[in-house]
Amino acid sequence: MSYSKNTYLLAQGKIEKRRKDAEEALEMRRADAYSKIPKLVEIQSRIAMLGAEAVSAISKGAEAPAFIANLAKESLAAQAERKQLLTQAGLPENYLEAQYTCSVCNDTGVTDNGICNCQREMLISTAKDEIEKYAPLRRSTFESYSLKYYPVQEDASGVSPQKRMGEIATFCKDYASDFSTESPSLFMHGATGLGKTHLSLAIANYAIERGYGVIYGSAPNMFGMLEREHFGRQYNNDRTYEQELLETDLLIIDDLGVEFSTQFTVSCVYNIINSRILSRKPTIISTNLTARELEEKYTQRITSRIIGNFISLKFIGKDIRQIRSY
User: Which phi and psi (to 5°) does residue 262 adopt?
Assistant: -135, 170
Q: Name beta bridge partners: 188.
A: 286, 313
Residues making up the chain, counted from first to last: 326
Q: What are phi and psi of 114, to 5 degrees?
A: 115, -150
Q: How far apart are CA 314 and CA 206, in angstroms?
A: 22
State the Cα–Cα distance between residues 63 and 232, nearest whole angstrom: 68
* Residue 326 pLDDT: 46
Longest dimension (CA), the chain: 92
- Type of residue numbered 107: D
Judged by average pLDDT, the poorest of 103-107, 162-166, 289-293 is 289-293
Hey, what long-range contacts does 43-49 have (CB within 8 A, 24 or more apart)? 43/78, 43/81, 43/82, 43/85, 44/82, 44/96, 46/74, 46/78, 47/75, 47/78, 47/79, 47/82
Section 270-294 average pLDDT: 95
Residue 5 — pLDDT band, cuts 50, 70, 90? confident
How many whole angstroms separate alpha carbon 33 and alpha carbon 206? 47
**Both ends of the chain: CA-CA distance in Å?**
44
**Is the CATH number of domain 134-325 3.40.50.300?**
yes
Relative to beta strand 110-111, strand 114-115 is antiparallel
What confidence score (pLDDT) does residue 69 get?
85
- pLDDT tens digits for 120-155? 999 999 999 999 999 999 999 999 999 998 999 998
* pLDDT for the residue 230: 82
How do the domains of the chain map onto residue ranges?
Answer: 5-115, 134-325
pLDDT > 60? residue 53:
yes
CA atoms within 13 A of residue 301's CA, in its CB half-sphere:
7
Structure-model confidence comparison of residues 245 and 318, the more confident one? 245
Average pLDDT, the chain: 91
pLDDT, mean of residues 266-283: 96
**How many Å apart are CA 308 and CA 311, to the nearest integer?**
8
